[in-house]
Amino acid sequence: MSPSEREPIASPHNPRIKSAAKLHKRHERDHTGTILIEGVRELSRALESGIVIEEVFCCQDLLDRENSAPVIRGIEKRGVLLTDVGRKAFEKLAYREATGGLVAVARRPSSALEDLPEKERPLYLVVDAIEKPGNLGALMRSADGAGATGVIITDPTTDLFNPNAIRSSLGTVFTVPHAASETTRALEWLKARKVTIVTTSPAAGALYFEADFTRPCAIVVGSEDSGLGPEWLDASEVSVRIPMRGAADSLNVSATAAILLYEALRQREGL
């Protein structure tokens, strides 16, 4: 028998709905160690990655039946509670409209440096003090696409599991190994593994494609407002620039990271 509760929760004031909706706020996610996952694609990637799902809320009126069927089978196979909810109750849970009718409460994945993969020639992306969840999600998406070994988020000012970060990452926050750390600790960890620190600067002499990305390296990008902190600039062993031909002297942080990550991919795979 399916664990689904067949009597839908109709009221947005239901205690379970109100409790789950609180996870839109970071302090509640930090306090409970749980997160919200919205959307069929995002939930599918979370399931594939082994994320612990505690409960799934399903709105039959909004359900994307064709694409959600495999996800619902996976949920039921795990014995996860699947709760039907009415449209108004679901709207209190959903952060956006295009969810496909599914929102899940899940345990927050581990984010320790020690859990990151260590390869012979690792390629890490270090994301320093990024403020906008959309940028953080886009950075995870680029890291996933380029096959980065992992992402290290230093001095985080936004939460990787903010619903907007999950959405903009297309669920790759669940597929890319990641860690959150203070800058000093991350630098010690990278230096102990002889990983070259690569940064960007409009004043750098070398163009980005002149750098050697085939060695073990960490590409470091920082806040668009204030740039990289002094600790990363002092630790930088390779500084490169991306040529700019217009009025602006820099790109969006996610665009910068994507260019460097894919240059690393090109060099490493001989593309």
Q: Residue 7 has what pLDDT?
A: 74
> Model pTM greater than 0.85?
yes
| Total residues found in the chain within this entry | 271
Amino acid identity, residue 168?
S
* Per-residue pLDDT tens digits for 30-72: 999 999 999 999 999 999 999 999 999 999 999 998 899 999 9
Largest CA distance in the chain: 66
Model confidence at 259: pLDDT above 90: yes
For 171, left (φ over 0), alpha (ψ -120 to 50), or beta? left
Assign 3-state DSSP to the chain and report helix, strand, coil percentages, each to 5.
40, 25, 40
The mean pLDDT value of the chain amounts to: 93
Q: Determine the Cα–Cα distance for residues 268 and 259; give it in Å rounded to an integer.
A: 14
The amino acid at 177: P
Mean pLDDT of 140-146: 97
Mean pLDDT of 126-140: 94
Q: Mean pLDDT, to the nearest integer, of 87-92? A: 94
Distance in angstroms (rounded) separating the CA atoms of residues 20 and 11: 13
pLDDT at residue number 6: 57
Decide if pLDDT at 3 tops 70.
no
Instruction: Give the pLDDT of residue 228.
Output: 87
- pLDDT of 4 > 80? The answer is no
Evaluate if residue 209 carries a pLDDT over 80: yes
Q: What is the predicted pLDDT for the residue at 2?
A: 44
- Residue 220 has a CB neighbour count (10 Å cut-off) of 28
d(CA 143, CA 218): 12
In a 10 Å sphere around its CB, with 0-12 CB exposed, 13-18 middle and 19+ buried, how is residue 2 labelled?
Answer: exposed
Alpha-carbon dihedral sign for residues 148, 149, 154, 159? positive
Domains, the chain: 5-107 (3.30.1330.30), 113-269 (3.40.1280.10)
